[in-house]
Structure 1
Amino acid sequence: MPVTAVTPDPEALTMTLVADFAAPIERVWHAFTDARQLELFWGPPGWPATFTDFDLAVGGHARYHMTSPRGEKSGGTWEFLAIDAPRRFEVLDAFAGEDGAPLEGMPVMRVTFDFDATDTGTRLTNVTHFTSADALQQIVSFGAVEGSTMALNQLDRVLQGLRAYAQGKGTQTELIDDTHVRITRLIDGPRELVWRAHHDPDLMRRWLLGPDGWRMTVCEIDPTVGGRYRYAWAPDEGVEGEAFGFDGETLLIEEPRRSVTTEHMTGTEFPPTLNDLNLQEEAGATLITLLIEYPDKETRDIVLATGMTDGMETSYARLEGMLANA
Structure 2
Amino acid sequence: MPVTDVATDTENLTMTVTADFAAPVERVWSAYSDPRQLERFWGPPGWPATFTAWDHTVGGRANYTMNGPRGERSSGYWEFLAIEAPRRFEVLDGFTDEQGAPNEQFPPMRMDFTFAPTADGTRMVTTSHFVSLESLEQVVAMGMVEGTKMAMAQLDAVLQDLREYAQGKGTRVELLDDTHVRITRLVEGPRELVWRAHTEPELIKRWMLGPDGWEMTECEVGLAAGDRYRNSWAPVGDTEGEPFGFEGEMLLVDAPRRAVQLERMQGTDGPDVLNDVNFYEEDGATLVTVLMEFPDKDTRDEILATGMAEGMEQSFRRLESAVLTV
CA contact (8 A) 1:189 1:323 kept: no
Q: Which residue is 1:152 aligned to?
A: 152
**Equivalent-residue separation in structure 1 for 2:201 and 2:48 (angstroms):** 27
Task: State the AA in 1 paired with 2:110.
Answer: R
1:228 aligns with 2:228: yes
Gaps of 5+ in 1: none
One-letter amino acid of the counterpart of residue 198, structure 2: H
Match of 1:258 in 2: 258
Distance 1:153 1:216 in 2: 35
* Letter aligned with residue 298 of structure 2: E
Q: Contact 1:97 / 1:103 at 8 angstroms: preserved in 2?
A: yes
Alignment partners' CA distance in 1, 2:153 and 2:197: 29
Does the residue aligned with 2:224 lie in a helix, a strand or coil?
coil
CA offsets per residue over residues 252-300 of structure 1, 9 Å max, x none? Answer: 0111111000111101233110000011111111001001111111111
8 Å CA contact retained: 1:77, 1:101 = no
User: Is the 2:173–2:181 contact (alpha carbons within 8 Å) kept by the matching residues of 1?
Assistant: yes
Q: Secondary structure, in 3 states, of the residue corresponding to 2:321?
A: helix
Give distance in 1, aligned partners of 2:3 and 2:185: 24
Correspondence for 2:114: 114
Q: Which runs of 4+ in 1 moved over 6 A?
A: none
| Aligned residue in 1 for 2:203 | 203
Q: 1 CA distance for matches of 2:324 and 2:49? A: 31
Distance in 2, Cα, partners of 1:201 & 1:53: 38
State the distance in 2 between where 1:177 and 1:125 align: 24
Say yes or no: does 1:184 pair with 2:184: yes
AA of the residue aligned to 1:316: F
What displacement does 1:325 show?
A: 1.8
Aligned in 2, Cα 1:86/1:104: closer, same or farther, shift over 3 Å?
same
- Cα distance between partner residues in 2 of 1:117 and 1:323: 44
Shift, 1:107, TM fit: 1.6
Question: What is the aligned-residue identity percentage?
Answer: 62
How do 1:16-95 and structure 2 match up within 5 A? 16-95=16-95
Per-residue deviation, 1:241: 0.6
Match of 2:278, SS state, is strand
Contact 2:207/2:323, CA 8 A, preserved across alignment: no
Question: Tell me, what secondary structure is at the counterpart of 2:289?
Answer: strand
Q: CA deviation at 1:162?
A: 1.4
Given that 1:249 and 1:261 are in contact with CA atoms closer than 8 Å, whether structure 2 keeps it comes out as yes
Residue 306 (structure 1) aligns with: 306
Unaligned runs of 5+ in 2: none
> Secondary structure at the residue paired with 2:106?
coil
Matched residues in 2 for 1:305 and 1:142: separation?
32
Q: After superposition, what is the alpha-carbon deviation per residue over 1:45-84, rounded to whole angstroms, capped at 9, x for unaligned?
A: 1111111111100111111011111010011100001111
Q: Which residue of 1 aligns with 2:6?
A: 6
Output the CA distance in 2 between the equivalents of 1:133 and 1:325.
58
Asked whether the 8 Å contact 2:206–2:323 carries over to 1, the reply is no
Shift of 1:87: 0.7
Q: 1:223 to 1:157 in 2, by over 3 A?
A: same
For residues 265 and 184 of structure 1, the distance between their equivalents in structure 2, rounded to whole angstroms, comes to 23
Q: C-alpha distance in 2, partners of 1:316/1:279?
A: 14
Instruction: Give the Cα–Cα distance (whole angstroms) in 1 for the partners of residues 219 and 54 of structure 2.
Output: 42
Give per-residue Cα distances to partners, 1:222-254, cap 9 Å, x unaligned.
211100101000111211111011110000011
Deviation digits for residues 130-168 of structure 1 (CA, Å, limit 9, x no counterpart): 111111111111111111111011101111121111110
Q: Distance in 1 between matches of 2:131 and 2:238?
A: 70
Q: 1:13-47, CA deviations, whole angstroms, 9 ceiling, x for partnerless residues?
A: 11001111110111000001100000111111111
Distance 1:291 1:324 in 2: 24
TM-score w.r.t. length of structure 2: 0.98
User: CA contact under 8 A between 2:203 and 2:323: conserved in structure 1?
Assistant: no
SS of 1:238's equivalent in the other structure is: coil
Number of equivalent positions? 326
* Local SS of the residue matching 1:310: helix
1:276 aligned residue: 276
SS where residue 79 of structure 1 aligns?
Answer: strand
Per-residue deviation, 1:324: 3.9
Cα RMSD over matched residues?
0.9
